[in-house]
Amino acid sequence: MFQIWRFNAMDDDNSNPFRRMSSRTRKVAPRMAAALASSDNRTHAALARLEALENDNAGIEQIEINEDSDASLDDDDQGYMQKRQSKGTKRKTRQAKALENARKAPRTFLELLNEASLESLPPHVPSYLKAAVGPPSSTSRRHFCTVCGYAASYTCVKCGMRFCSGRCQNIHNDTRCLKFVA
Amino acid sequence: MSSSFPYPDFSNVVVLDNGGGLIKAGLGGERNPSTVLPNCLLRPISSKKWITPPPATTTPNSDPLDLTSAAVRRPLDRGYLINPDLQRDIWAHLFTTLLRVTPSHSSLLLTEPLFTLPSIQRATDEIVFEDFNFKSLYVADSPSLAHLYEASRSGPTGRLVSKAQCSLVVDCGFSFTHAAPVFQNFTLNYAVKRIDLGGKALTNYLKELVSYRSVNVMDETFLIDDVKENLCFVSLDVPRDLHIARKTGRDNLYRCTYVLPDGVTHTKGFVKDPEQAKRYLSVTHGDTPSQLEANKKEMDQIEVTERSENRKREVDFSKNEFDLTNERFLVPEMLFRPADLGMNQAGLAECIVRAVNACHPHLHPVLYESIILTGGCTLFPRFAERLERELRPLVADDYQVNITTQEDPILGVWRGGSLLASSPDFEAMCVTKAEYEELGSARCRRRFFH
């Protein structure tokens, strides 16, 4: 995914003006540079991790699931469904099929939420969005080591995850350090 | 059961608490739901078909289904119905084979989460009236039902729940957590506050922790559910407990081993040593380190044997088991401090305070006096104790804080629904199929005031 691993320092974007810098131009992959320029990546990674907390293990063959979307419980019914579908797909182009699948596939709640456009409601109407509890009153956050779970006093300079000791740092670097979050 | 029912005309009320995790279903007027089953379709790795899970109530005698690495499809996402087709299939199975009711002769009392989107309400109405042809429908929200049940339960003893007709229901379920003030059986929806964390997120979090630290269990939802239910507890003092959990050998009162199923002799995982799992109970609040030492000595005297085995910190991969230490209390901890997880949401205690503050000031003291905990997540040991400890400093001194736990928080809402279904006014509150056909979904929904 990331072809250029020559990059070795990431302190140039937040350096102070008095810092001595070499005049040599660094070679950085464009995608890498973009990744480093935006500070959002860590936020994105954190959000993705939170999003993953709502996942189900829905099996690997997602496409197959969409095809027998009715998930009927008895045998003959399913057989009938498959027969009917294979007959129908003969004439369909791949694009039409994909479209149909997309239409039939269950949408996530967030998609439904966007569709409902709750923002347009008048301010006094209670809605899903307004019921969210909101940010905590104190911004203090306890940090736990992502490796072992105990209180973590150090932050990974590359990805911002926490660890508590040199031992955990090594494990972190070897396993889940997201140096190139993109 | 129908003979004891005072309204023979309306004897068939199906009460359906359609949760994101479990469906609780039964007939109105009974004390317990006749069926509790997971609200999902499963596909075990051995099969190619999606099957409905066996009801949770009939596990001992029926052959245990091997749920190892089973794929799961749920009709509800974040608590709301997203896949009506799937839900219809599960309900069809429920009504025909488990409950054995004829929908066209029955009414349905259905719970729906607060703030359900209109499009989802329409889809639900379509299933109820057009696919199943129910005679009539009543849609309730779970906080008001939990309140109803508690109010009826505490009748003669004169608890405040019934006196003030008002309570604060904390529903900490599978998909999310709501703090909802209920006033005279109506949920004050403008004051409801929600944390987007529930049992599912906690299970997934534990799954992630165990997978990273010892064995890959990312596909074992049901196994980790079991681990969570049996081993997790709420910490009363996190720094102290972290300190204890860090100790080695016998001193560590929190270490506990869980044995994974091997697929041959047992298809379900189990706690290796239930005694070991219960040792955390010996740590009470205010224990000084010296007291802990004393406790530890007692424990040592009880079980002197097999201590050399525990010395080893490393997990033995060949044995198919894993150890839990700080995960046991750090997982439920997230409900109290979602910020630690990186969520920009307040914890449960603050959520309650905000919900109360959104109500009329006259209600504040009575709401704090009758906080009702319902939902599966409140089953974590010491949940109520911790909540009270966090809530007390946030509430004005002259208000009492009184937290009621339900004896069966998973069924609490259903029981409230059962009561409502057997009340004489129930029929009048329903929307009939004829009304639905004439007025449509949106106008019928106005009757339920939410």
CB-CB neighbors (< 8 A) of A112 in chain B = 80, 82, 117, 119-120
Residue with tokens 């639900």: B124
CB-CB neighbors (< 8 A) of B238 in chain A = 142
pLDDT in tens, chain A (182 residues): 444 444 443 444 444 556 666 677 666 677 666 666 566 777 787 888 888 888 887 665 444 444 444 444 444 444 444 544 554 445 667 777 777 776 666 778 888 888 888 888 888 888 888 888 888 888 778 889 988 888 888 988 888 888 999 999 998 888 888 755 44
Helix, strand or coil, per DSSP, at residue B166: strand
Judge: B213–A147 Cβ closer than 8 Å, yes or no: yes
Q: Which of A53, A74, A162 to mutate to test the interface with B (most CBs of B within 10 A)?
A: A53
Residues in chain A, overall count: 182
CB-CB neighbors (< 8 A) of B246 in chain A = 150
Q: Which two tokens stand for residue B181?
A: 């003030």
Task: Pick the range with the lowest mean pLDDT from A98-112, A125-139, B200-214, B265-279.
Answer: A98-112
Query: Among B235, B382, B347, which residue's Cα sits nearest to residue A140?
Result: B347
Alpha-carbon span A146 to B326, nearest angstrom: 12
Q: What is the pLDDT of residues B110-168, one digit of tens each?
A: 999 999 988 899 999 999 999 999 999 999 999 999 999 988 876 555 555 556 688 99
Judge: A151–B242 Cβ closer than 8 Å, yes or no: yes
* Closest-approach residue (CA) in chain B for A44: B342
Judge: A132–B330 Cβ closer than 8 Å, yes or no: no
Percent helix, percent strand, percent coil in chain A, to nearest 5: 45, 5, 55
CB atoms within 10 A of CB A91: 7
Q: Which of B117, B119, B175 to mutate to test the interface with A (most CBs of A within 10 A)?
A: B117
For chain A, first and last CA: distance in Å?
10
Question: What would you measure as the largest C-alpha separation in chain B, in angstroms?
Answer: 75
Q: Which two tokens stand for residue B19?
A: 């949760």
The pLDDT assigned to A70 comes to 45
Listing DSSP states for B174-242 in one string gives SS-EEEEEEETTEE-GGG-EEES--HHHHHHHHHHHHHHHT---TT-HHHHHHHHHHH----SSHHHHH
Residues A42/A156, Cβ–Cβ less than 8 Å = no
CB-CB neighbors (< 8 A) of B43 in chain A = 59
Q: What is the pTM of this model?
A: 0.81
